Amino acid sequence: MSRHLSLRSGNPVLSQKTFSSLSQSGIEEKMTMNGTVNKTLISLFLLVGSGYYMFNQPSMGILAFCGIAAFIVAIVTVFKKTWAPITVPLYAILEGAALGGISFLYNSAYEGIVSQAIQLTIGILLS
C-alpha cells in the first residue's frame, strides 16, 4: 500500500505522470509560497473583475461564448501545460464572465440570492 494513499487523486490532470514530466522539462524555476499566492490572487482578481462586469452588463451571447471558450481553454491547458502563463489568466477572465452572467440570471429569477451566497461565502471564509 502506498504511503501517499491519502494524497492520491482520481483527476488525470494530477496524476504521477504529470509531475514526473515536469521534472524532465528543464525548468529551473522553483515554486514558492509567495509566487503561488500572488498568481492565485491575480487570477482571483481577473475572475472577480470580469464576473462583476458581466453581472452589471449582461449579454446572453457573451455568456454563451465565455462558457464555451472557458471550457476549451481549460482543455488546452491540460494538454499544453507550457501554455499556462497565457491560458490561466484567459481562463480566469472567461470563467469569471460566465459565472457573472449565470449569477445575473439566478439573481433575476430569485432576488438577492447572489448577494446572500457571496455574504455567506465570505462569512464562512473569515470564521
Which is more confidently placed, 92 or 12? 92
At 55-83, the pLDDT tens digits run 999 999 999 999 999 999 999 999 898 99
At 13-33, the pLDDT tens digits run 777 776 666 655 556 678 899
pTM for the complete prediction? Answer: 0.79
HSE-CB for 27 with a 13 A CA cutoff: 11
Burial of residue 17 (number of CB atoms within 10 Å: 0-12, 13-18, 19+): exposed
AA identity, residue 2:
S
Domain assignment of residue 47, yes or no = yes
- Residue-level pLDDT at 1: 45
Domain assignment of residue 66, yes or no = yes
Please give the residue range of the domain that contains residue 75: 32-126
Structural domain tally of the chain? 1
Query: Would you mind telling me the total number of residues written for the chain in this entry?
Result: 127
Domain assignment of residue 7, yes or no = no
